[in-house]
Amino acid sequence: MHIPDGFLSPTVTVPAWGAAAPLWYWAVRRNFGASATESLPVVGALTAIAFVVQSIMIPVPGGTSAHLTGVAILAFLYNPGVAFVCESLVLLLQALFFGAGGFTVLGVNALAMGLVGPGVAWLVFRALRPLWPRVAAFAGAYAGIQVATLSVALVLGLQNRLASDYMPVPFAVMLPAMMVPSLTVVGIVEGLYTVATLSLLRRARLLDAP
Amino acid sequence: MATVPACECRGKARAVLAALGILAVAPPVLAHEVLHEVQRGRAVAVHAWIHDGEDLANAQAEVFSPADGSIPYWSGRTDRSGWLAFVPDVPGRWRVRIVDSTGHGLDTAIEVAAPGTGGVASETAPETAPSGLTAAAVLLRPLVGVVLIAVVFGLLYLRRRRPGP
């Protein structure tokens, strides 16, 4: 799902950095201050697990593969701002040390996979939790990854319209190629992973997991 | 003794003249014959795959010459094993872009030295090794990531726990 360096023009990457930078500042100030000290070990562990699950490729029909994000759970347990910062850290490490994604596209990837996706996941989770807590976690995680994938596809499609020499694949080709695996496989696995992790946290009494 | 009719002689003469005429115009036709030669070791081959080992097969690919970075020197698709190959005509930093339909791909540069300085294989020796991750690195990648994240959060935790002035 990561957009690599060189696939987006500065027309897209610079505004994305411009939007992401103040949000990073705000989210770090709000969620990682002195009052958050006791939650740091759990947040760090869940961030590390998110890194691991993003390294595991899931084969999907059609001969391609995809991966989970694993950050919706951070939005459920804390808030979308925590998920945004943690996913941004994962993306930064992947870009700097592993050649996945990239630094110029970090703003776009972070906004799509770290903010929009977990934000929608959190909204769905909050809306459904009073009625069906477990369904809420599954539905939230499922919706979150769909929106994140759709956001990435929209950005790449926009880039194709703006300058196809950066992104030669048109939106009409890319949308089904990205969304079909996401809707049929990745979303379901992401939902199951999120429900299972919340259940484990509850049983381990690590925190008051919802 | 049988005699050949005069009209038959004229017919044969016309046929010979026609054959000569065809031969006369043949050289320009032969100029369109496609010839070929085989040169080993001139091409630069690039293999693209995702870190789990899956080849980036049938993906759109473009190669840009250092002499012209705007118009692709070569364009096409990777083969079913994720390979593309091109024959550089000038030394320098060549750019290779591969994009699959799901947005995965790479945009990288490959150094090509001047011809006659040791052959393509040695010229591009740094690029003959996988530019991404080796199999061992693929296995170590999650572990390295976990360690880096633990360091970041550990330092943050210690900083927050430090008593203020």
**Nearest residue on chain A to B100, judged by CA atoms?**
A169
| Site from A68, A78, A98, A178 to mutate, B interface, most B CB atoms within 10 angstroms | A98
pLDDT > 80? residue A143: yes
The class of domain A10-203 in CATH terms is mainly alpha
Q: Nearest Cα to A169, choosing from A7, A32, A58?
A: A7
Predicted structure pTM score: 0.78
Other C-beta atoms closer than 10 Å to the C-beta of A123 total 16
Q: Which uninterrupted H or E stretch holds A170?
A: none
* pLDDT of B116: 60
Beta-carbon pairs below 8 A across chains A and B: 107
Query: Cβ contacts of residue A73 below 8 Å, gap of 6+?
Result: A46, A141, A194, A197, A198
Cβ within 8 Å, pair A40-B148: no
Query: Cβ contacts of residue A32 below 8 Å, gap of 6+?
Result: A40, A85, B156
Q: What are phi and psi of A73, to 5 degrees?
A: -65, -35
Cβ within 8 Å, pair A44-B157: yes
Cβ within 8 Å, pair B157-A41: yes
* pLDDT of A151: 95
pLDDT in tens, A200-209: 888 877 665 5
In this prediction, residues B57-85 reach a mean pLDDT of 91
> What are the boundaries of each domain within chain B?
44-131, 133-165
Q: Does B82 touch chain A (CB under 8 A)?
A: no
Pick the CATH number of B44-131 from 2.60.40.10, 2.60.40.1120, 1.10.510.10, 2.40.128.630: 2.60.40.1120
CB half-sphere exposure, A189, CA atoms < 13 A: 18
> What are the boundaries of each domain within chain A?
10-203
* pLDDT of B75: 92
Distance (Å, rounded) from C-alpha A210 to C-alpha A151? Answer: 28
Cβ within 8 Å, pair A99-B141: no
Q: Nearest Cα to B117, choosing from B93, B94, B91?
A: B91
What's the token pair of residue B145? 């990531």
pLDDT in tens, A102-128: 899 999 999 999 999 999 999 999 999
